[in-house]
Amino acid sequence: MIYINGHDLTIEQVIAVSRQGETVAIAPEAAEKIRAARAYVDRKLADKAVVYGLTTGFGKFSTVFVPEEETAQLQRNLIISHACGMGEPLDTRVVRAAMLLRLNALARGNSGIRLSTMETLLQMAPCLCAVLTLTALLRETGLLDALTEALRPALEALRLIVNATLIARYGLAAFQIRARGAEYER
């Protein structure tokens, strides 16, 4: 078992996960930082504060306020817009390594992601049939594209009830997109 915290991941651990299927969990100290960052996001949402990409649009729409009832759609649109890699699919080992690196970065606790979203992604990782391409890893938004490209098939599969096996295996129910994250509801 490898515990990620955003600071101590080694190349040997990345190889163990990507090539040998070593399992991954979030370190307890990282979980606390993730919860604290999420609490900050929730306070900002409750205060109806103007926060780029959370309660506003992105880029040239950064001055457009997004009401709370539309934040889930904003996040869904972000996933769809970034899940646009091109080219040949990468080897499963490369996909596992990319997902681990992104999850490790999120484990620092700076993003405002929900802990349950990270736990869901860790649960899904062995079963993901995501197809990542090299262009998704190389775009200017970095691993965000890789993560959203990995999430999009899961989102669409669940929306279409194609991924019933994953739901049954983990006892998961509805996949919900929310402000700064997506998660399964148990």
Answer yes or no: are the C-beta atoms of 155 and 87 closer than 8 Å: no
Residues comprising the chain, all counted: 186
| Catalytic (active site) residue 184 | no
Rounded Cα gap, residues 51 and 103, in angstroms: 23
Cα–Cα–Cα angle for 47, 51, 53, rounded to 5 degrees:
130
Burial 29-54 (b: 16+ CB within 10 A, else e): ebbebbeebbeebeebbeeeeebebb
Choosing from 3, 52, 170, 184, the catalytic residue is 52
The catalytic site residues sit at 52
